[in-house]
Copies of this chain bind each other. A is one copy, B any other.
Amino acid sequence: MSSPGMDEASSLQLCRLMLPDDANFMGNVHGGIILKMIEEAGSIIGTRHCNTQNGDRCLAALVRVEKTEFLSPVFIGEVVHVSAEITYTSKHSLEVQVKVIAENILTGAKKLANKAALWYVPCSLQNVDKVMEVPPIKYASPEKEEEGRKRYEAQKIGRMETKARVEEPMPLRPNLEDAPQERHTVGFSQSSLIHLVGSSDCTVVDFVYGGVAMKLMDEVAGIVAARHCGTNIVTASVDAINFHCKIRKGCVVTVTGRLTFVSNRSMEIEVLVDADSLVDRQTGKYRAVSAFFTFISLDKENKPLNVPPLKIEGDDEQKRFEEGKSRYLQNKTRRLAEKERQQ
């Protein structure tokens, strides 16, 4: 009996060379490229695991990514290694933990770029809306299983809490020329992009890979951050992302980002993804994904810069700012506690 994470079926590594199109004008690889690779690894290992059972063949569909931090910048020409391992299974879902290491293949230097945890649900190939059962994994110890069960319960609560955001109206996209001219307001940097879902974005059963959606989300958040600062910006972290609904081939997705909170050194950007079937009027427009991205501003030596304060206008912006501030303070407290624990 092999221990979990060691046998073929429950661990996986993938790697790719970072190309110019993966990075911004300073050579910093976009966070969205890393998120897409993380999800690709999770989707492969999840799908492989769920097909070790009898019954319908199935695909693992991403339903949630836990809060994740970008620990070191990655550059063009480096090789990114993503290793994934199944760490918990419930009856209908599984958790994949992923580690991202960036390697300078000329010097051999390696650095930890990211760690993430993703939740998948197996969908039948015969009927994508039918959720299959997940074969159980073996745990190294009862403690490991218990820890996994706690993470499972926590994410269930987390998903419940963000249900509200499904209902939150998509902010209106002002015409570029009607957009507010005053710098550092929320309206000034708010941005949207629209993407027509093609076959290269989709799984074999024609819904969009979670990683493709996250790449678009990071792209729009980066535009918001660059507009606010006018400097080189990079993704610092992403709050838990929930995938409320599948996005199908042929849909148009509208990805909108707006600043919610700004500290001295960071910007929080809310990103909402709405999907709209062009040809099926009955489905209508629906909220498919939502998340908060945190960006920081860097100088030419990749040292952090101060971020211009956000000019708040109206009660809604004030409310979102306060909520963002409380997320910011919670994260700060959590990070300090972790540091102390490690000492």
Contacts and interface: CB of A to CB of B under 8 A. Distances in A.
Nearest to A202: B199
A16 B51 CA distance: 38
A151 to B, nearest CB: 22
Contacts of A223: 15, 17, 79, 105
Most B Cβ at <10 Å: residue of A15, A51, A125: A15
A279 B227 contact: no
Nearest to A51: B279
A204 interface: yes
A50 to B, nearest CB: 9
**Is the interface on chain A under 10, 10 to 19, 20 to 34, or 35 or more residues?**
35 or more
Contact of A279 (B47, B250, B276, B278): B47
Given A83-B176, A227-B108, A77 B279 contact: no
Nearest to A248: B204
A63 interface: no
A227 B21 contact: no
Given A21-B19, A199-B202, A227-B105, A44 B278 contact: yes
Interface string A6-49: 00000011111101110011000000000000001101100110
A250 B83 contact: no
Contacts of A204: 249-250
A173 interface: yes
A116 interface: no
A71 interface: no
A204 B206 CA distance: 11
B77 A193 contact: no
Nearest to A204: B250
A202 to B, nearest CB: 7
A306 interface: no
Nearest to A229: B106
A194 B37 CA distance: 11
Contact of A15 (B19, B81, B193): B193
Interface in A180-224: 183, 191-196, 198-200, 202, 204, 219, 222-223
Contacts of A177: 101
B106 A230 contact: yes
Given A47-B279, A108-B227, 14 more contacts: A15-B191, A15-B192, A20-B20, A21-B21, A24-B77, A40-B196, A43-B196, A48-B252, A48-B278, A51-B278, A59-B279, A105-B223, A105-B226, A106-B231
11 contacts: A12-B194, A17-B219, A20-B21, A44-B252, A44-B278, A47-B278, A48-B252, A108-B230, A198-B199, A199-B199, A200-B200
